Homo-oligomer: A and B are copies of this chain.
Amino acid sequence: MSFDRLIGKIIETQNPTVVGLDPKLEYVPEYIKEKCFAKHGNNFKGAAAALYKFNKGIIDQICDIVPAIKPQSAYYEMYGYHGVKCLYKTIRYAQEKGMFVMVDGKRNDIGATMEAYSAAYLGTTDVAGEQLEAFGADALTVNGYLGTDGIRPITDICKARDKGIFVLVKTSNPSSGELQDKLIGEDSVYSVMGGMCEQWGSDNIGKYGYSAVGAVVGATYPEQLAEMREKLPHTFFLVPGYGAQGGGAEGVAKAFDKNGLGAIVNSSRAVMLAYKKMEGYTEKDYAKAARAEVIRMKEDITAHIPEIKG
């Protein structure tokens, strides 16, 4: 129920961070690309093979110390259906290695279509009587602009299958305030959306006090993080924007509760490109460099939050 599975892994690893696997081809070391293009050609199949090899290397190096990965669907879809197949294989591989997988797809639609997205990412699809998992992730990011009937189908699946969602509340990008900070009466749009998350999750709260309906709140807006943490006591936060986008550990700390729980902080580029930025690594060591960056990030964040307690 709820985000208990994810929180359990966070407690186990004592690490409230998630690695965003958003593998643009330009991030992938040359030796991997050369091999894959030689085998499959300079095409999407070759690209997808390179991305998968890159992802596997990182997952192998981090699966014992990081609770989760967050593949961002756009970076797979840009390589066509071969890229989407790579997304599927990445999800499966990380789960085999014991990781919790949240697909960052920010999906949204009216009820009937949201059922299809729910089936696609967290549920099953009926094919001639067989119930098959299309992607079989553990959680999905969604956009709540359409209101309750665009969310209810996926919370039903979350309840039935022990999965979770993260709804966009206050995003990490510079212009997020254009709509999200506007005031509806005395409340901001992001706060109204946050209130809906609290409501949507209210019938499915787990043993750590958090529901299956989380919220995306950006590390780049620490004040809003603090405000939301206080106003949304049962809503677990996915916090993007740490590192490359400018969010620091002190700000990020505001997303956590007194038990060191309540949030998971994402880092993508800094981990994937650690081999280019940290000293002493060549591209052959990209996965080891990723592990080193993950450890650095974990230490940076846990130094700023209360001890993580179950």
Q: Interface on A for B, CB 8 Å cutoff?
A: 22, 24-25, 33, 37, 42-44, 46-47, 72, 74-75, 77-81, 83-85, 87-88, 106-111, 113-114, 116-117, 119-121, 125-130, 132, 134-135, 143-150, 168, 171-180, 182-185, 189, 192-193, 196, 240, 245
Contacts and interface: CB of A to CB of B under 8 A. Distances in A.
Nearest to A143: B143
Contacts of A44: 125, 127, 132, 134
Number of copies: 2
A192 to B, nearest CB: 7
A144 B179 contact: yes
A77 to B, nearest CB: 4
Contacts of A183: 184-185
Contact of A42 (B77, B120, B127, B185): B127
A290 to B, nearest CB: 19
A178 B147 contact: yes
A132 B240 CA distance: 30
15 contacts: A44-B132, A46-B127, A46-B128, A47-B125, A72-B116, A75-B113, A79-B127, A80-B125, A108-B108, A110-B172, A110-B173, A145-B168, A147-B173, A150-B173, A179-B189
A184 B83 CA distance: 41
Contacts of A121: 77
Given A46-B128, A108-B143, A172-B110, A85 B81 contact: yes
Given A113-B22, A128-B46, A148 B106 contact: no
A186 to B, nearest CB: 12
Given A108-B106, A120-B78, A134-B78, A33 B128 contact: yes
Nearest to A88: B81
